[in-house]
Amino acid sequence: MSNLTNQLISNILFWLSRKKWLVIAFFISVSLFYVETPEGLTSDAHRTLIIVVTALILIVSESIPLPAIAMLILIMEVVLGVDTADGVASSFMSDAVFFIMGSLMLAVAIVHQGLDKRLALSIINVTGNKTWRIAFGFVFFSALMSSFIGEHTVAAMMLPVALALLRYSGKKPHQTSNLSSLLLFSIAYGCALGSIGTPSGGGRNAIMIGYFSEFNIARISYWDWIKYAYPMMLIEVPIASSILWLTFKPKKKILDSAVRKLKVSVAKDGKLSSNQVLSIVIFIFVFFSWIFFSPSIGLGIVALMGVFFYLSFRLIDWQDLTRRTNWGVVILFGSVISLGIQMNETGAAKWLADSILNSLSNSIVDPSNLRWFFSVIVSGIMTNLLSNAATVAILGPIVLEMGGDPIILGMSTSIASAFAYLTIVASPTCMIIYSTGLISSKDYIKAGWKLFIISITLLLLISIFYWPILS
Amino acid sequence: MNVLIAISSKHHSEPTLKAGMKVANAFSASSTVLEVGEKINEFSMKEVYMARERIESWNFDRPGVDVLEWAFNYLCKEKLINDSSIERGFPKNTLVENSSRRSEVFLEKGKAKNISLIIRNGDIIEELRNEVQSGDYDVTVLGGSKSGNLSFDMVQYIESSIFIVKNFQTKKKNKILLAVDSSKGSKKAIKHCVGIANAFNIEVEIITVTQDVKLKKANQNITEYASKFLRRFNIKNKIIFEEGNPVDVIPKKAGNDHILVIGSSSRGPIKTFFQSSTPIKILKKCNCPILVVK
């Protein structure tokens, strides 16, 4: 009996030691509930902020599964009386959530076609066998493709190409080197840069577009976004390549035998299959639909159209699709976006924005110029700690209430959330390259801080000199 | 009896695997070699698996397989896996995913002397705990860690005995330092000590450290019991009596040329959680391999 009790207590203590952040979040939220509502904040807004704090602690600590966090947010919204059950349900699903769901499913469908070998051949044919050209090619092609089909799709397809080159150049599994860091970071940073280029580059862009329209600020089309963001992406590609080359200069300056072996290995696969051709055609259709139809039918619906065709033409089975789609992320973003909308509707976002501006004006001379720095730096830091879409979903409503030009602030926040260069958990792309075991967590800081600072500077210059011309 | 041997890489895990297999053989136990890979955060889990599927379609191994392959080759070299399996090489194509975080390489059972090879991904304590619970292991063998918290968590939350292979030099002839007192755990430690002494074919020094004069007699009795028990198995031993705090004296005496065997504390889990326990404090200070028997 005493053994059983001890075992039960031990199990509880183990649970508490693993879930300590859940316990901390619980006590913080209870304490905040009993704190007197600050002046200027409505009771609903106060309670919304309690949910925001709880959600942020749980997302960063990952002490409970993501879908559980999502459900907790929805439950708290209703139980704390922020909105009715129907109100929460309707804010849970939006075109941005459709887009996140559709793009994750499109990623699965595209990766499933096994186009990576074709891709490898195309890239190598363009770059040749010089290492610097290959690294530049990796950054460029990763950025180019991820700007249209999303970063993790590209990372999953590019990873075997990099590993093949490393293996064929004589590297053993687990053998780390500057060459492995150079090639893998070229993929990760290329994908991150590319994801700012178009709304379909990442779910966060769709979330910001959703907020622009939900809060009656502006209707930004797919093409408008490209005009704003694509030039920055193109400028950053050579900068990122140079930083990576200087940080991880490899001993081997030419990868001739690796490239030869890669070509031989890829050549075995023969020509493109009809399914592969069809899948490319469907994606091109989706891309043009995003440009021409998304202003009227929404980005999410276009993505779902793509999924519809992939399923209808049997290019992927529903079982394969559903097994590989990260539903936890879809549900979580649905609830975080719902929370963002509540932040706006209850006035919590406005109160936070005003409080931030007031505190800045106490310590620094002119707060109006610092709105931009606040949005970009907080977004850049948050994205490296949680996820870029969650960053935009939470931070978006606040920066859009800060005054000044909301489009510039919103676009800057969304773009800065792509500066996920510094940590492993910053984005799925960073995790994908880390999971190879070929790079250490210190490598992220080594190259990442330089690119982080340059990206912020470049974003500042573009928002001062280029964006005003567009508007 | 089941022994779980946790390894991380061939650079760091050779002493762990060697010591673990010696212990498993001494007890004629089934052994499982487990590699715990990095934790993948939930935001990226599906994407990482998708990338892994692509890697495998190019006939490259997913991370962790190379570590198991190294372990397999080591076991072959030590003749712990039968000849027909050795000829066929490492059967990576039999790597089967049991759950989202656990995969197993299937070796021919019976012929491979009950050896299993497993990969898990996630938080090391959580994964080891799950594996120990599901596989009903008696001893978990793992390498030393610089982090004191890890040792604490191991002893506190993992139900099997824990053998931490810290600074183990395979070529050096160590002695066993069997630390006993009048607590319940000591008798179990004495029994396990026999197996370890046989595995490594080495002498035993039985130590008892008395802080409280009242316990001196009880401690003398247990040391005599231990000495008799070991003699029955023809294991050479000598008794050392010391006075002072066991937490200071035992690690000092163990130095880096002993394998320390100690029973777990009889303290309840709550008291251990808040105040720690003598074995955990000793483990944190010790610079040699240590077996905490539960």
Percent of chain A's residues with pLDDT above 70: 97
Q: List all residues of chain A from 138 to 167 with a beta carbon under 8 Å from chain B.
A: 152, 155-157, 159-160, 163-164, 167
Percent of chain B's residues with pLDDT above 70: 94
Say yes or no for a CB contact (<8 Å) between A62 and B67. Answer: no
Alpha-carbon span A437 to A172, nearest angstrom? 12
- Does A253 lie at the interface with B, CB-CB under 8 angstroms? no
Chain B residue at shortest CA distance from A154: B51
- ipTM for this model: 0.88
Query: Average pLDDT for residues A161-186, to the nearest whole number?
Result: 86
The radius of gyration computed from the CA coordinates of chain A, to the nearest angstrom, equals: 23
Question: How near does any CA of chain A get to the CA of B232, in Å?
Answer: 31
Question: How near does any CA of chain B get to the CA of A167, in Å?
Answer: 9
Residue range B5-62, pLDDT digits in tens: 999 877 778 889 988 988 888 888 888 999 988 888 888 888 998 998 888 888 888 8
Q: Which two tokens stand for residue B250?
A: 């035992």
* pLDDT of B112 over the 60 cut: no
Residue range A105-153, pLDDT digits in tens: 999 999 999 898 888 889 999 999 899 999 999 999 999 999 999 888 8
pLDDT band, residue B109 (cuts 50/70/90) = low
Residue A68 burial (CB count, 10 A): 15
Alpha-carbon span A376 to A457, nearest angstrom? 10
Per mean pLDDT, which of B63-72, B212-221, B222-231 is the most reliable? B222-231
CA nearest to B286, candidates B244, B258, B266, B264 = B258
* pLDDT of B83 over the 70 cut: no
Sign of CA dihedral A19, A22, A26, A32: positive
Query: Strands B161-165, B139-143: parallel, antiparallel or unpaired by DSSP?
Result: parallel
> What is the per-residue pLDDT for B85?
63
Total number of residues shown for chain B: 294
> What is the per-residue pLDDT for A20?
92
Say yes or no for a CB contact (<8 Å) between B269 and A13. Answer: yes
List of residues 6+ apart from B128 with CB closer than 8 A: B4, B6, B34, B36, B140, B142, B154, B158
Q: Number of residue pairs across A and B with CB atoms under 8 Å? A: 122
pLDDT band, residue A233 (cuts 50/70/90) = very high
CB B221 within 8 A of CB B53: no
The secondary structure of A53-79 as a DSSP string is HHHHHHHHHT-S-HHHHHHHHHHHHHH
CB B142 within 8 A of CB B129: no
Q: Which tops the pLDDT comparison, A164 or A271?
A: A164
Least confident span in A68-72, A260-264, A370-374, B181-185: B181-185
Query: Strands B102-105, B95-99: parallel, antiparallel or unpaired by DSSP?
Result: antiparallel
Q: Which tops the pLDDT comparison, A398 or B143?
A: A398
pTM: 0.86
Measured in degrees and rounded to the nearest 5, phi and psi for residue B125 equal -65, -45
Residue B88 burial (CB count, 10 A): 9
Q: Which residues of A touch B48 (CB under 8 A)?
A: 428, 431-432, 435
Chain B residue at shortest CA distance from A114: B54
For tokens 């939470």, name the residue.
Answer: A394
Q: Give the mean pLDDT of chain A.
A: 91
Spatial strand order in the sheet of B204-210: B95-99, B102-105, B115-121, B30-37, B2-7, B139-143, B161-165, B290-293, B258-263, B175-179, B204-210, B237-243
> What is the per-residue pLDDT for B99?
78
Q: Give the mean pLDDT of chain B.
A: 85
CB B141 within 8 A of CB B19: yes
> What is the per-residue pLDDT for A55?
95
CB A429 within 8 A of CB A152: yes
* pLDDT of A31 over the 90 cut: yes
> What is the per-residue pLDDT for A53?
96
Could you give the count of Cα atoms lying within 13 Å of B240 in the half-sphere of its Cβ? 18
> What is the per-residue pLDDT for B145?
67
- Does B52 lie at the interface with A, CB-CB under 8 angstroms? yes
Least confident span in A236-245, A426-435, B214-223: B214-223
* pLDDT of A362 over the 70 cut: no
Alpha-carbon span B8 to A4, nearest angstrom? 33
pLDDT band, residue B210 (cuts 50/70/90) = confident
Query: Virtual CA dihedral for B269, B272, B275, B278, nearest 10 degrees?
Result: 160
Measured in degrees and rounded to the nearest 5, phi and psi for residue B215 equal -90, 0
* pLDDT of A405 over the 80 cut: yes
C-alpha angle with apex A459: A457 to A461, nearest 5 degrees? Answer: 70
Q: Which residues of B touch A107 (CB under 8 A)?
A: 47, 50
Alpha-carbon span B95 to B118, nearest angstrom? 9
Chain A residue at shortest CA distance from B40: A431
Least confident span in A230-239, A422-431, A449-458, B34-43: B34-43
Residue range B234-268, pLDDT digits in tens: 888 899 988 889 899 999 998 888 899 999 887 88
Query: Average pLDDT for residues A227-238, to the nearest whole number?
Result: 96
Q: Which two tokens stand for residue A310?
A: 């992939």
Measured in degrees and rounded to the nearest 5, phi and psi for residue B259 equal -110, 115
- Element housing B99 (H / E): strand B95-99
Q: List all residues of chain B from 65 to 84 with a beta carbon under 8 Å from chain A.
A: 65-67
Query: Average pLDDT for residues A319-325, to the nearest whole number?
Result: 93
Say yes or no for a CB contact (<8 Å) between A14 and B44. Answer: no
Alpha-carbon span B188 to A140, nearest angstrom? 63
